[in-house]
Structure 1
């Protein structure tokens, strides 16, 4: 969750895929019990001697989030390439873990804490930009998994003008429904298997039902220029929130909670649908797959742009809901959807089969063996949710959950991909 950012006319506006912004959110937990620890402000204070919202380290910055037990690592401005970005993030993960050791604490990956009670364990960030968080809390009550227990990976992609926004938004909209098949990492909430591949997205899509225009159908509406976006997406949200927000604190682009949001203040679209993975190399593998498929869609490799723009959010949302529930095992019966990606099948296929087709068609990671290996695991062994359940079983004890998630914390520290039958 971010605060407002004014349009900066001095910044160079980038063209499609000339830059990338990446944000990774991690929980801070006690090493043994995995109890969430609300000490992000202490971590930042220990580094810079002040309770700041952002701490910059050259290419990478740290920042706070809504809740005090989450820290975000992000690229400081756009980077030219995703290449080797995992190494920079990994170095900061290890630095933070060293700093947290004095609190008997560590970073924990995955998109949701498996044991957290958000109604008793939630503490909001009390320092800089607190007014925004307090406004959200006043309107929605931010105790709950949909606010206090969801860690994601965000990808920001630039566009130069309306013509590039049209292409990028059209491509992102049609790819969004199947992105969680790769990234789902949240099979457990409240110490129990939920039966969903992506429990984070299930609570995320419902966390603002009081004001339904804010998240919409999660899949953005079919709008392809700034004026229409302002009229059809932003203004209805601002109008709906206004009676609850008399100071106008939330009347900004960041209020938009769709799975991808336009940020015209900085000429980017921010993809927010992805659960965070077990380590940065796995996140970068997912992002590389997403970017490469988007590039192919925009280049009209399989179908013309007109065909991408024609898809209504309701039809795309139906696919997304199946993927939230079943991940790569979701059955795809919409032949026309698969044809957007040049994939012809009989009566049905799985979303996992569609991703195997896409990886084979457009991805070449020969010069990035770490990413190639991580993506191979995700596509062949299943997303992290599936691998976690494989390690836990269907009715795990609390101690078994702690054991597996401690292994995931080791994977994060070491930068290694999680396999149920292999130590990190």
Structure 2
């Protein structure tokens, strides 16, 4: 068992990026070559000091993550950026580079999807057999994961309660996937629109995205893990799938490492923007946990369906959606209908004095100019030609290389 930490003592951050070829902009299924070039041998994980690199389900996505728990969120933007620069340098002779945002806007998943073929591949093959992973919901969903520790049931209760009520608001801060296959999907967060249904064959895995009202380890196993194990059993004849791995809710409890992982954050254009979003979400969670907003009994009473009803329209309209559920808004000390953008402005106002000034510019750009999805659509305008989309996303790749925030 890994060392246990108390609430907000340490953090784990994971960033997923797609690899694309320079000349064609098509997904480059060469993560194995990237990791081999770094490790000097075939590898699925590479430790690079404070950051580790690893493979994902598909061969064109690489994950960068904190190499163990980190107690300094403010240093991570530069650390991740250094690794981005190193990866792009390794990819240069392979005629490829990293592409940010949660979805490649021109990817054809049937044509461009290759599953990872090395270690752990039997798990991915089984997933592919059950769900057919050649779809946007599997091969075109790059996200940022935030891992937060809890020490015991008491801390789990506080953290899970707070995370559940903030989940619906997350796409209104970080939606970055408005375009698929060259078309405006009509969803600012098309990644989450796919996320809701990409495991529909076994609905127990994702549930309603918002986790159930469970606040102890025993209840979590009974309510979430046991139904998952039962549902997967007919498919997983060799017993190779782990219930922690299978649970696909928007926040998942990892009792194997005493942490909750938030999975609803679309990855942004640069680590600078990603870390600013992570810091803001974490500071609002602290306000909830530390009784600066609604009391815990009020947080705990929300049913998954009620929270999903807030989340669902925000997946579509992101920051522009107006929340009219006053009971929900009361959780954040707001007593009238408000747009998601203005709700986040209110929460930022409460948390700002706890947020390092290096993050202010990124957060304020998002709150004033809109989510990255909104800024992407503004930059594309009415011209959804391949040339125009490539031009805009090349600028986003440039933001990644320079660690800057995108303005249309």
Shift of 1:12: 2.0
Q: Secondary structure at the match of 1:364?
A: helix
Instruction: Please name the residue that 2:90 is paired with.
Output: 99
CA distance in 2, matches of 1:37, 1:282: 24
- TM normalised by structure 2 equals 0.99
Do residues 361 (structure 1) and 350 (structure 2) align?
yes
Give the C-alpha shift of residue 349 in structure 1. 1.4
Q: Is the 8 A contact 2:11 2:69 kept in 1?
A: yes
CA positional deviation for 1:81? 2.0
Q: Which moved more, 1:37-46 or 1:76-85?
A: 76-85
- Name the residue aligned to 1:310: 301
1:46–1:238 Cα change, 3 Å: same
Cross-structure match for 2:259:
268
1:199-234 deviation per Cα after TM superposition (whole angstroms, max 9, x unaligned): 000011110001101000000000000000000001
User: 381, 384, 398: which one pairs with 2:372?
Assistant: 384
Q: How does 1:17-416 map to 2 (within 5 A)?
A: 17-345=8-336, 348-364=337-353, 367-369=356-358, 371-416=359-404
TM-score, scaled to structure 1 = 0.95
Query: 1:398: how far off?
Result: 1.1
Runs of at least 4 residues off by over 6 Å = none
- Residue-pair matches, total: 408
Kept in 2: contact 1:51–1:128 (CA 8 A): no
Q: Deviations over 1:369-395 (max 9, x none)?
A: 3x1100000011000000000000145
Post-superposition shift, 1:147?
0.5
Q: Is the 8 A contact 1:154 1:272 kept in 2?
A: yes
Per-residue deviation, 1:344: 1.9
Give the secondary-structure state (helix, strand or coil) at the position aligned to 2:25.
Answer: coil
Between 1:29-38 and 1:19-28, the stretch displaced more is 29-38
Tell me the distance in 2 between the aligned counterparts of 1:306 and 1:81: 31
Q: Secondary structure at the match of 1:84?
A: helix
Contact 1:159 1:165 in 2 (8 A): yes
- Once the two structures are TM-superposed, the CA of residue 51 in structure 1 deviates from its matched residue by 2.0
Distance 1:138 1:262 in 2: 26
Q: Is residue 193–residue 395 contact of structure 1 (8 Å, CA) maintained in 2? A: no
Alignment root-mean-square deviation, CA = 1.0
